[in-house]
Amino acid sequence: MPRILLHVCCGPCSLMPVVHLRDEGFEPTAFFFNPNIHPADEWKKRRDAMREVSEKLGVPLLEEGGPENPGLWVRALHGVTREGERCALCYRPRMERTAALAAEQGFDAFTSSLLYSRYQHHETIIAEAQRAAALAGARFLYRDFRPWWWDGINLSKELGIYRQKWCGCILSMKEALLQQKEAEERKAALKAEKAARLAQEAEERRKRHEAFAAKKARKLARRKEGSPA
């Protein structure tokens, strides 16, 4: 049975890769190496979630390193901080270390759970993994795990695995918080707009009711004026 070193970025994203690699006849070993995850308590949550997946799915887990200082991480980007552009610099050290470890420990190939996420830059991951494989003399096994996106989400919820709110680095955390704030502001604006519309409609109904009541009162008064004494 071919042995595959599976780089894992988090618990939820690892599920479908493990399941489907096994279905293909591979024997996966998970490797948690993610210095890009910030802050440290978030790194710990994701590591612990991966340990939980390892236990529940019975997949061996290797761990290495810890979270890098966020300030040093950003400084090492040398100004390339835009989402999408910076991501190659995030994938690179992880793919390089995974490829090197796969070669060192005699794995038949390596791959990554990053290839499961619809939010990652798929082609960039492939390019960085191929580059790392060439440097280390390892074999990169490409698989597109994205078709099982919803299966992975459902299974992670069923197993009660911690689900993160942002990609990983401190910049993605800030972007996620900003997007959340903008979404909340849009929701609040829509709520206020709806409340104003309902208030206006209520006011228009009140005015129509008053006009109808006044018209009815005038009509009744004319009838009384025309009645015999």
Tokens in use for 11? 């618990």
Q: Which one, of 221, 224, 5, lies nearest residue 111 by Cα?
A: 5
The predicted pLDDT at position 174 comes to 77
Report which of residues 112 and 209 the model is more confident about: 112
For the segment 180-209, the average pLDDT, to the nearest whole number, is 83
The predicted pLDDT at position 228 comes to 62
For the segment 45-70, the average pLDDT, to the nearest whole number, is 94
The percent of residues above 70 in pLDDT, for the chain, comes to 98
Kindly tell me if the per-residue pLDDT of 193 is higher than 60. yes
The dihedrals phi and psi of 63, each to the nearest 5 degrees, come to -130, 145
For the segment 88-116, the average pLDDT, to the nearest whole number, is 96
Residue in the structure block whose two tokens are 């009711």: 209
Kindly tell me if the per-residue pLDDT of 229 is higher than 70. no
Tokens in use for 189? 């604006």
The predicted pLDDT at position 5 comes to 98
The dihedrals phi and psi of 125, each to the nearest 5 degrees, come to -60, -45
Q: pLDDT-derived band of residue 165, with 50, 70 and 90 as boundaries?
A: confident
Cα separation, 191 vs 196, in Å, equals 9
Query: Strand 3-8's sheet: what is its strand order?
Result: 61-63, 27-32, 3-8, 109-112
**Helix (H, G, I), strand (E, B), or coil: what is residue 142?**
coil
Residue type present at position 17: P
Sign of CA dihedral 89, 93, 96, 98: negative
For the segment 41-56, the average pLDDT, to the nearest whole number, is 96
Kindly tell me if the per-residue pLDDT of 187 is higher than 60. yes
The predicted pLDDT at position 23 comes to 97
Cα separation, 212 vs 29, in Å, equals 78
Q: What is the pLDDT of residues 137-155, one digit of tens each?
A: 999 999 999 999 999 999 9
The percent of residues above 90 in pLDDT, for the chain, comes to 57
Q: Which one, of 60, 55, 54, 9, lies nearest residue 35 by Cα?
A: 9
Q: Give the residue ranges of DSSP H helices in the chain.
A: 11-23, 40-57, 70-76, 87-104, 122-136, 149-159, 170-226
Q: What is the mean pLDDT of the chain?
A: 90
